[in-house]
Amino acid sequence: MSPRKNSGTERSTLCALLSVGCLVAGPASAQVDLAGATAKLTLQVATAILGEKCRRVETPNPVSFASVALHRTFHDDFDAHPLTDSRWASYYAGGAAWPEARYWGGEGSDFRRKTSYNGEQQIYVDPRYGGRETTPLGLDPFKVSNGILSITASRTPPALKAVLFNNEYVSGILTTQSRFSQKYGYFEIRAKVPVGTGVWPAFWMLADDGGWPPEIDIMEGRGQRPGSIVMTTHWRIPETQRVERCGFDFIVPDAATAFHDYGVLWQPDRITYFIDRQPVSEIKVPVGFHEPMYMIVNLAMGSKTLEGVGFVDGESPTTVAFEIDRVSAYQIDER
């Protein structure tokens, strides 16, 4: 999804670089919470030798799969507001020269609260943020009820439009940058994926050192295409500096109305994407995946870089919520 170190031109239409077409697959029908976010987890991964292109994982053959044992290293099941402790930040983190006060308001403070290059039409807010002013506006896009976090995007109040840099919507982002990052392991969200014109929910990862790429898009929703889930890997070719990407769309018919698990297992040799803990695609780890990565979950509005999202218009919802049951990370057990 990229904040993204000017990633936009390289990630316009996702379904398929490297001559890989957009494919449709149905995940396992599991709609219950599987094993939940248990302290221990075992996943099945393919063992076949990988080529240079990403590929779908076909119908599992038990003899061609191996078990990967993992232990949990991060978990939030959202029994409390996500900003009550230090696990999440509500903005993209800046470098050491970026003063902490700059996150909370003043001219130019929108720089870390949206990605203009993507054509986004929201600004990410939290109760402390003041927009062009330095007085908190008290806007809170995060709500917790019965263990479910809702990140809500809503049309910007007219009286606050100028203060909020004339963005059409206010919404929310949560990131673990500089708070939690990990090299290798399994990263998972359990969520409902909202739909509507301009609606762009995502769960994704970036390098904690601030470089781009690498980028792992574990789940992106195309708001104008209900049930379409995008899973993509991004990397840079050192010799040419060209950014490549490879990924697929998967159809989850009830993604907007039922909770499903969307995850990625990053191993030293391969990256495997999962829906309801069933492997659906994989890729040989590209060049540049050397540093620990952090997690991001957000609800953007409007996109010129991801086909099927569209720009905000009169048909866009006045309010729309990205409902999240939990976010978890696991590390691979040592053998």
Q: What amino acid positions are annotated as catalytic residues?
A: 215, 220
284 class by beta-carbon count within 10 Å (0-12 exposed, 13-18 middle, 19+ buried) = middle
Does residue 203 contact residue 275 with C-beta atoms inside 8 Å?
no
Task: Provide the 3-class DSSP secondary structure of residue 141.
Answer: coil
- C-alpha dist (Å) from residue 179 to 78, 174, 176, 215: 17, 11, 5, 18
Token reading at 173: 């982002």
- HSE on the CB side for 306, CA within 13 Å? 33
d(CA 335, CA 321): 42
For strand 199-207 and strand 293-301, is the pairing parallel, antiparallel, or unpaired?
antiparallel
Q: Residue 194: is the preceding peptide bond cis (ω within 30°)?
A: no
Cβ neighbours of residue 3 closer than 8 Å, sequence gap 6 or more: 92, 115, 206
How far, in Å, CA of 261 to CA of 78, rounded?
Answer: 16
Non-local CB neighbours of 99 within 8 Å, separated by 6+ positions: none
CA nearest 282: which of 52, 71, 62, 19? 52
Rounded to an integer, what distance in angstroms lies between the CA atom of residue 217 and that of residue 245? 10
